[in-house]
Amino acid sequence: MRPSLLGGAWLIARKDLAIEFRTRTAFLAVLVFAVLGVAIFYFAWDVTAVPAMDLAPGVLWVIFTFSGLLSLQRSFGVEQTDRALDGLLLSPIDREAIFLGKALANFVFVAGIQAVTIPAVALLYNLPLGRTLPVLFAIALLAAVGLVAVGTLFSAMAANTRLAELLLPMLSLPFFVPVVYGAAQSTSLLVAGRPTAEAWPFLKMLIAFDLVFLTACTLAFPFTLEE
């Protein structure tokens, strides 16, 4: 029986998450990288001259971008071993469902990193989050969708090339600019205690980015898999 688009996507995502849950190596490594990055950034500025509160949004989003890249790298990297990708392609699942499943697994991975890093930044940079925390998590999830949509497509492409580790950041980072911009600007408005309504234009841009790139990358993905 051929599973539906979302059913197939769920199967792929469950497979990837099961692999991750049983090995746990990548998640812990990326998590340590993220917190380590947050700590190192603190020493890159003179905190007596620039308040930690002004630095935090930028630090948060630069760290998310780089730890996101690390997790995306694995997404299709794991399918290279024993040419596991051929098995995926032979299975009665739509190509679009493979993409959505991979993207969903990456999304859960990145959201997991965010769930630990946001409180870590709040703690280490003394951010008075409190009531803004739910909105901040909403921004983080919106940004994660955009990062993951573009990153999953490029991860599939980069995995097949000679420069996989270098190519993924080189292709993805220009695409992360609108995401990082929207997320960091709205985060700094919230952290500064401005009303949520002021962040709305940036959130609208994030939502538009998510919709456009999730659709475009899902449609473009099957072209990368032809044999």
Partner 1 sequence: MTSASVANDTPATHQDLATARPLFDWLFVVAVLAIAGAFVRAIFFTPIEALQGAAQKIYYVHVSAAISAYLALSVVALMSIVYLWLRDERADRLAESGGEVALMFLTVVLTSGPLWGKPIWGTWWTWDARLTLTLFLWFLTAGYLVLRGAIEDVAMRARYSAVLGIPAALLIPFIHLSVYFFNTLHPMPIVLKPAKPSLPNEMLVTFLLFVGAALLLCVALMRARYRYGVERDALRAIEGGER
Q: Which residues in this chain contact partner 1 in the complex, by CB under 8 A?
A: 150, 153, 157, 160-163, 167, 170-171, 173-175, 177-178, 181-182, 185, 201, 205, 208-209, 212-213, 216-217, 220, 223-224, 226
Closer residue to partner 1 (CB): 31 or 151: 151
What is the smallest separation between the CB atom of 23 and partner 1, expressed in angstroms? 28
Contacts of 76 (CB under 8 A, 6+ apart): 85, 102, 155, 156, 158, 159
Residue type, 76: F
What is the smallest separation between the CB atom of 168 and partner 1, expressed in angstroms? 10
Closer residue to partner 1 (CB): 21 or 223: 223
What is the smallest separation between the CB atom of 227 and partner 1, expressed in angstroms? 10
- What are the φ/ψ torsions at residue 161 (nearest 5 degrees)? -105, 175
- CB-count burial class (<10 Å; 0-12, 13-18, 19+) for 168: buried
Closer residue to partner 1 (CB): 109 or 175: 175
What is the smallest separation between the CB atom of 133 and partner 1, expressed in angstroms? 25
- What are the φ/ψ torsions at residue 79 (nearest 5 degrees)? -80, -10
Closer residue to partner 1 (CB): 53 or 220: 220
- CB-count burial class (<10 Å; 0-12, 13-18, 19+) for 10: middle
Closer residue to partner 1 (CB): 122 or 158: 158
Give which of 45, 219, 75 is closest to 147, Cα–Cα.
Answer: 75
Residues in the chain: 227
Tokens of 153: 């497509």
Closer residue to partner 1 (CB): 31 or 142: 142
What is the smallest separation between the CB atom of 181 and partner 1, expressed in angstroms? 4
CA angle centred on 71, ends 174 and 150, rounded to 5°: 35
Give which of 142, 158, 167, 6 is closest to 75, Cα–Cα.
Answer: 158
* Secondary structure class of 66 (helix, strand, coil): helix
What is the smallest separation between the CB atom of 212 and partner 1, expressed in angstroms? 6
